[in-house]
């Protein structure tokens, strides 16, 4: 029975310790980390973790539904054209249409005539004659009036070329719908891409490709109850200001996280010269999405991606390829059930961070040896990384940096509180005690210096003289005859009459005797006028009586001297 009670007490003590140290510390650390995350202080690290996970995923290879016709450096140098002229563009479109592509997207701005007037006319006729061709524009912003699409393209076949670029120039978001913003600059001309109206919602070039490709298969976009777009059962989850590792981002446009396929092999690429020379297999074009754009390095139509921090040969990705990757992720989700990115809500993320904070605190409380604690913490972080990696492969973006920081922070905090708090308190107390001892020694030395001074010794001698005189006065008062029946004993204080005369010098309170002597003399001065007719002889010897302040000072010195002697 006693053993059970002991076990019960131990269990209760363990629970209280865990609750009092581990849980409270874990909650505090998790709250601190979540607070920093809420302020956006961790966004840079979380986006870097996103990029690292993206680079770590296996390459998914080429999406055979796409073909990129890139205008590369060789094409520009060979044809001596930059920008590519309208006539060349019309010739390219005609060649492609011969092989029956399902849809063509032009990621080259053509608002201004390039080349001859005849080439311009050919281009306009080609664009208007083929319903499967879409071309880009640039929407207006506060600092830009926007750029119109190529002439001859109807408004329903215009696609937005813009990307949202994160801090550092990295593209992680895929544009779906964009709305032109009011520009502070004057408009050279008004067009659909610079009309700042909330109802003027323009699809991106990649979304134009998706809609037209799926329309041929009878799949149309729909709106959910929450206002999000979907194709069949596939919902395009719109980014919010706090999606995943983002915090307070601009979500005025409809965007989704960009689930890249590959750094270099997402889509098949051929050059402009190869198409014009009939060197491209028609099977690569027939019923495919063909996208035309610059891939030349001198054009600077390239962007940083999550792959940019990896190998040197994939530092930047051409804009036309980014458009293709965005379109590919939507088609793969709708037709191949490849998941789009998903993420948790804030409550789920908070619980996730707290759980790992609790793991760190428990490990620090349970493991006492430092090297084992480091090993245990490393294993826990490895499990966390592995879990995040597996979830990321399945398109889940859940917090990684906050739980790592919470785990480490709670482990360090519990170690400090559980192991070293008592040591720290003891050290502080010892330091304070040393200071107190030093102060007491200093005071004792000062008291000793005073009590051993000549002035103090002189005061003691004066007190002894007063005592001797007091004893003589007592003797005189008791032996002198009293006339007219005057009772001297009734007039003198009892303390003087009854005080013994044989008190040891070392035990006498000299100051008290000085006070008594002064009181006695004052009493005698009061009685003398009343006994003028008597023969009572009271002999008083002039003496120096210390002032009250001096007496109090002397008393204090005596007490401190006595205490000093007792301590010795």
The per-residue pLDDT for 60 is 94
The per-residue pLDDT for 267 is 97
**E strand or H helix at 268:** strand 268-271
Give the mean model confidence (pLDDT) for residues 65-73. Answer: 97
**Residue 470 binned pLDDT confidence (cut-offs 50, 70, 90):** low
**Does a structural domain hold residue 2?**
no
CA distance 177 to 182: 17
CA dist 513 → 441, 469, 496, 503 (Å): 31, 11, 10, 12
By mean pLDDT, which of 30-39, 426-435, 548-557 is the weakest? 548-557
**One domain, residues 294 and 385:** no
Does 538 have pLDDT greater than 60? no
Give the mean model confidence (pLDDT) for residues 508-514. Answer: 55
Q: Which residues pair with 103 in a beta bridge?
A: 289
Judge residue 498's burial from the number of C-beta atoms within 10 Å of its C-beta, 0-12 exposed, 13-18 middle, 19 or more buried: exposed
Q: What tokens appear for 527 in the block?
A: 């009685």
Average pLDDT over all residues of the chain: 83
**Does a structural domain hold residue 396?**
yes
Q: Count Cα atoms within 13 angstroms, Cβ side, for 519.
A: 12
Relative to beta strand 268-271, strand 289-294 is: unpaired
Residue found by looking up tokens 């298969």 in the block:
217
pLDDT in tens, 294-350: 999 899 899 999 999 876 566 899 999 999 999 999 999 999 999 999 999 999 999
Q: What tokens appear for 227 in the block?
A: 């206002």
**Does a structural domain hold residue 434?**
no
Long-range contacts (CB closer than 8 Å, 24 or more residues apart) made by 383-387? 384/356
**One domain, residues 122 and 239:** yes
Q: Is 377 helix (H, G, I), strand (E, B) or coil?
A: helix
Q: What tokens appear for 85 in the block?
A: 């002229």
**One domain, residues 267 and 155:** yes
8 Å CB contact between 383 and 356: no
Domain that includes residue 138, residue range = 57-336
Does 486 have pLDDT greater than 50? no
Does 355 have pLDDT greater than 60? yes
By mean pLDDT, which of 118-127, 380-389, 416-425 is the weakest? 416-425
**Residue 161 binned pLDDT confidence (cut-offs 50, 70, 90):** very high
CA distance 459 to 466: 11
Does 476 have pLDDT greater than 70? no
Among 336, 367, 396, the domain boundary falls at 336
**Number of helices followed by number of strands (H, E) in the chain:** 18, 14
The per-residue pLDDT for 514 is 54
8 Å CB contact between 205 and 161: yes
The per-residue pLDDT for 248 is 86
The per-residue pLDDT for 496 is 37
Judge residue 432's burial from the number of C-beta atoms within 10 Å of its C-beta, 0-12 exposed, 13-18 middle, 19 or more buried: exposed
**Does a structural domain hold residue 11?**
no
Could you give the percent of the chain with pLDDT greater than 90?
Answer: 64
**One domain, residues 244 and 201:** yes
Helices (H), 249-369: 272-276, 319-336, 346-366
**One domain, residues 84 and 34:** no
The per-residue pLDDT for 395 is 96
The per-residue pLDDT for 415 is 87
The per-residue pLDDT for 468 is 72
As for how many domains the chain has, the answer is 3
**Does a structural domain hold residue 225?**
yes
Q: Is 204 helix (H, G, I), strand (E, B) or coil?
A: strand
**One domain, residues 252 and 117:** yes
CA distance 2 to 68: 81
Does 523 have pLDDT greater than 80? no
**One domain, residues 38 and 65:** no
The per-residue pLDDT for 500 is 42
pTM check: above 0.75: no
Among 309, 336, 363, the domain boundary falls at 336
The per-residue pLDDT for 301 is 92
pLDDT in tens, 41-50: 999 999 999 9
**Does a structural domain hold residue 419?**
no
Q: How many other C-beta atoms lie within 10 A of the C-beta of residue 234?
A: 19
**One domain, residues 330 and 230:** yes
Give the mean model confidence (pLDDT) for residues 244-272. Answer: 94
By mean pLDDT, which of 125-134, 296-305, 412-421 is the weakest? 412-421
**Does a structural domain hold residue 433?**
no
**E strand or H helix at 197:** none
Q: Is 236 helix (H, G, I), strand (E, B) or coil?
A: coil
Does 534 have pLDDT greater than 80? no
Give the mean model confidence (pLDDT) for residues 235-246. Answer: 95
The per-residue pLDDT for 365 is 87
The per-residue pLDDT for 293 is 98
Among 336, 367, 399, the domain boundary falls at 336
CA distance 563 to 568: 9
**Does a structural domain hold residue 308?**
yes
8 Å CB contact between 363 and 380: yes
Q: Length of the chain, please?
A: 568
- Contact partners, residue 482, CB within 8 Å, separation at least 6: 488, 534, 535, 536
**One domain, residues 284 and 325:** yes
Give the mean model confidence (pLDDT) for residues 424-428. Answer: 68
Does 174 have pLDDT greater than 80? yes
Q: How many other C-beta atoms lie within 10 A of the C-beta of residue 199?
A: 6
The per-residue pLDDT for 568 is 53
Pick from 282, 245, 371: nearest CA to 95 = 282
By mean pLDDT, which of 98-102, 204-208, 532-536 is the weakest? 532-536
pLDDT in tens, 211-222: 999 999 999 999
pLDDT in tens, 11-25: 555 544 555 678 888
Q: What tokens appear for 271 in the block?
A: 């050059």
**One domain, residues 189 and 283:** yes
CA distance 324 to 331: 10
Does 393 have pLDDT greater than 80? yes
Does 198 have pLDDT greater than 90? yes
- Contact partners, residue 270, CB within 8 Å, separation at least 6: 67, 68, 69, 70, 279, 280, 284
Does 527 have pLDDT greater than 70? no
Q: How many other C-beta atoms lie within 10 A of the C-beta of residue 20?
A: 11
**One domain, residues 401 and 539:** no
**One domain, residues 331 and 378:** no
């Amino acid at each position: 029975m006693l053993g059970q009670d002991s076990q019960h007490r131990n269990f209760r003590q363990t629970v209280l310790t865990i609750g009092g140290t581990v849980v409270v510390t874990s909650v505090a650390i998790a709250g601190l980390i979540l607070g920093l995350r809420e302020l956006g202080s961790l966004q840079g690290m979380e986006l870097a973790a996103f990029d690292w996970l993206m680079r770590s995923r296996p390459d998914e290879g080429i999406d055979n539904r796409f073909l990129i016709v890139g205008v590369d450096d060789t094409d520009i140098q060979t044809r001596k054209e930059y920008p590519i002229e309208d006539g060349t563009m019309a010739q390219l479109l005609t060649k492609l249409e011969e092989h029956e592509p399902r849809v063509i997207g032009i990621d080259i701005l053509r608002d201004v005539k390039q080349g001859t007037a005849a080439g311009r006319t050919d281009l306009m006729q080609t664009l208007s004659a083929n319903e499967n061709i879409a071309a880009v524009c640039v929407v207006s912003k506060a600092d830009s009036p926007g750029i119109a699409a190529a002439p001859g393209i109807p408004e329903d076949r215009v696609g937005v070329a813009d990307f949202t670029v994160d801090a550092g120039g990295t593209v992680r978001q895929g544009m779906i719908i964009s709305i032109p913003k009011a520009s502070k600059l004057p408009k050279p001309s008004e067009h659909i891409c610079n009309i700042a109206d909330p109802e003027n919602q323009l699809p991106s070039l990649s979304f134009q490709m998706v809609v037209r490709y799926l329309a041929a298969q009878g799949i149309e976009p729909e709106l959910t109850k929450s206002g999000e777009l979907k194709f069949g059962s596939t919902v395009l989850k719109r980014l919010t200001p706090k999606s995943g590792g983002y915090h307070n981002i601009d979500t005025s446009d409809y965007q989704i996280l960009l689930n890249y396929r590959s750094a270099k092999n997402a889509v098949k690429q051929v050059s402009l010269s190869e198409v014009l020379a009939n060197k491209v297999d028609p099977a690569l074009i027939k019923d495919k999405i063909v996208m035309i754009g610059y891939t030349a390095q001198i054009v600077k139509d390239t962007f940083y991606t999550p792959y940019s921090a990896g190998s040197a040969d994939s530092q930047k990705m051409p804009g036309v390829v980014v458009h293709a990757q965005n379109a590919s992720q939507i088609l793969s989700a709708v037709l191949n059930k490849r998941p789009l990115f998903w993420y948790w809500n804030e409550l789920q993320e908070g619980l996730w961070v707290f759980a790992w904070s609790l793991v760190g605190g428990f490990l620090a409380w349970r493991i006492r040896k430092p090297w084992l604690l480091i090993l245990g913490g490393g294993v826990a972080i490895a499990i966390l990384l592995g879990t995040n990696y597996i979830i990321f492969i399945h398109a889940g973006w859940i917090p990684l940096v906050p739980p790592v920081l919470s785990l480490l922070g709670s482990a360090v905090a519990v170690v400090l509180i559980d192991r070293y708090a008592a040591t720290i308190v003891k050290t502080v107390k010892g330091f304070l005690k040393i200071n107190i001892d030093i102060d007491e020694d200093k005071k004792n030395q000062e008291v000793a210096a005073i009590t051993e001074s000549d002035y103090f010794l002189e005061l003691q001698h004066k007190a002894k003289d007063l005592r001797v005189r007091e004893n003589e006065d007592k003797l005189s008062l008791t032996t002198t005859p009293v006339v007219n029946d005057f009772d001297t004993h009734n007039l003198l204080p009892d303390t003087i009459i009854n005080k013994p005369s044989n008190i040891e010098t070392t035990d006498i309170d000299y100051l008290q005797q000085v006070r008594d002597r002064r009181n006695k003399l004052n009493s005698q001065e009061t009685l003398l006028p009343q006994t003028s007719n008597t023969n009572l002889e009271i002999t008083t010897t002039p003496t120096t009586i210390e002032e009250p302040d001096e007496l109090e000072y002397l008393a204090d010195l005596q007490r401190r001297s006595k205490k000093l002697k007792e301590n010795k």
